[in-house]
Amino acid sequence: MNTITIECLRYHPESDAEPRFQSWPVPFTDDMSVLQGLQYIKDHLDGSLTFRWSCRMAICGSCGFVLNGVPKLGCETFLRDYYPGTLRVEPLSHFPIVRDLAIDQSDFLKKLESVKPYLINPDVPKKGTFIQTPGQMDEYYQYSKCINCLLCYAACPQYGLNSAFTGPAALALLHRYNADSRDAGKAERMQVVNAEDGVWGCTLVGYCSEVCPKAVDPARAVNQNKIESTKDYFFRFFRK
């Protein structure tokens, strides 16, 4: 059995003015995830280490961290891939740190609300359900796979530089609803799209799509809407 050094950012607001790093030697097997490594530390070496996790299978979106500078989910990243060497675990970038590896996601939740992430359609079918072809579902399906893990926000330097930016996941979800044939709320969402901190906050760094564990491709969602926003800007005078 090998042992890897895991170094975690520590921050306890009641006692620390600033974050610091702390390392532990963690014995591991080939099949152990980074999340399991953290759980080993908490269970056997330092019970005060704080981090979020839940499903252990990359669907809940809870265990996002920055591992050696790269945003990743702890449950689907493996300790064997960082050995030999030190694994540095930091909380998701660009969010305020609440405690150790747990960040404050409240800003994201506000952004999520702002894009009206629900079907807006006054014409609900009188009988039964909406009918949607596979082709119509294809238009938005990839954007519906977002698990709100926030890796894309950790990847996005524009969000880091300006937290008023709506950001990749929220804009991808906005696009998911606009592209859904059952939705009629595009006009209501345009305000968010057209704003300086809407799609125009993006400079297509593209790292968000690189790190997304669900291949949502938020960079595409955001940038397709730059054309929409431009069309809206120039053609608004011709609309009736």
Partner 1 sequence: MKRSNKPIFWSLFGAGGMLSALIGPAVIYLTGFQTGKLSHERVLLLAQNGLGKLAILAVISLFLFHGCHRMYHSLHDFGVHVGPGLKAAFHGFAAAGTLAAAVLLILV
Partner 2 sequence: MKTYTRPMAGWWKRNPFYLWYMLREASCLFITAYALMLLWGLYRLQQGKIQYEGWRESLSSPLSLAFHAIALALVLYHSWTWFKIMPKTLPRIPIPDWLVVTGGVAAVLVCSALVLVLT
- The residues of the shown chain that bind partner 2, judged by CB under 8 A, are 11, 13, 18-19, 69-70, 93-94, 96-98, 104, 139, 157, 160-161, 203-207, 209-210, 217, 219-220, 223-224, 226-227
Instruction: Tell which one of 18, 234, 239, 240 touches partner 1 (CB under 8 A).
Output: 234
- Report the chain's C-alpha Rg in angstroms: 21
Q: For residues 101 and 39, what is the distance between their CA atoms, to the nearest angstrom?
A: 13
Residues in binding contact with partner 1, number by CB under 8 A: 16
Instruction: Tell which one of 63, 147, 192, 212 touches partner 1 (CB under 8 A).
Output: 192
* 98 lines the binding site for partner 1 (CB under 8 A): no
Among 144, 7, 30, smallest CA distance to 86 is for 7
User: Which of the listed partners (partner 2, partner 1, none) does 70 bind, with a CB threshold of 5 to 8 Å by partner kind?
Assistant: partner 2
* 2 lines the binding site for partner 1 (CB under 8 A): no
Structure tokens at 83: 């050995």
Residue number, 26 or 190, with CB nearest to partner 2: 190
* 61 lines the binding site for partner 1 (CB under 8 A): no
Q: Torsions phi, psi of 101, nearest 5?
A: -100, 10
Residue number, 26 or 216, with CB nearest to partner 2: 216
| Residue 62 and residue 70 in contact, taking contact as beta carbons nearer than 8 Å | no
Q: For residues 43 and 111, what is the distance between their CA atoms, to the nearest angstrom?
A: 35
User: Which of the listed partners (partner 2, partner 1, none) does 98 bind, with a CB threshold of 5 to 8 Å by partner kind?
Assistant: partner 2
Residues 6+ apart with CB under 8 A from 192: 114, 115, 166, 174, 198
User: Which of the listed partners (partner 1, partner 2, none) does 11 bind, with a CB threshold of 5 to 8 Å by partner kind?
Assistant: partner 2
* 191 lines the binding site for partner 1 (CB under 8 A): yes
| Residue 198 and residue 166 in contact, taking contact as beta carbons nearer than 8 Å | yes
Q: Which residues ranging from 134 to 173 are in contact with partner 1 (CB under 8 A)? A: 157, 161
Q: Cite the beta strand spans of 11-157 per DSSP E.
A: 20-28, 64-67, 70-73, 86-90, 97-99, 102-103
Residue number, 66 or 75, with CB nearest to partner 2: 66
The least CB distance from residue 102 to partner 2, in Å, is 10
DSSP character for 196?
T
Among 105, 101, 106, smallest CA distance to 12 is for 101
User: Which of the listed partners (partner 2, partner 1, none) does 2 bind, with a CB threshold of 5 to 8 Å by partner kind?
Assistant: none
Residues forming contacts to partner 1 in the complex (CB under 8 A) are 157, 161, 191-192, 194-198, 200, 203, 226, 229-230, 233-234
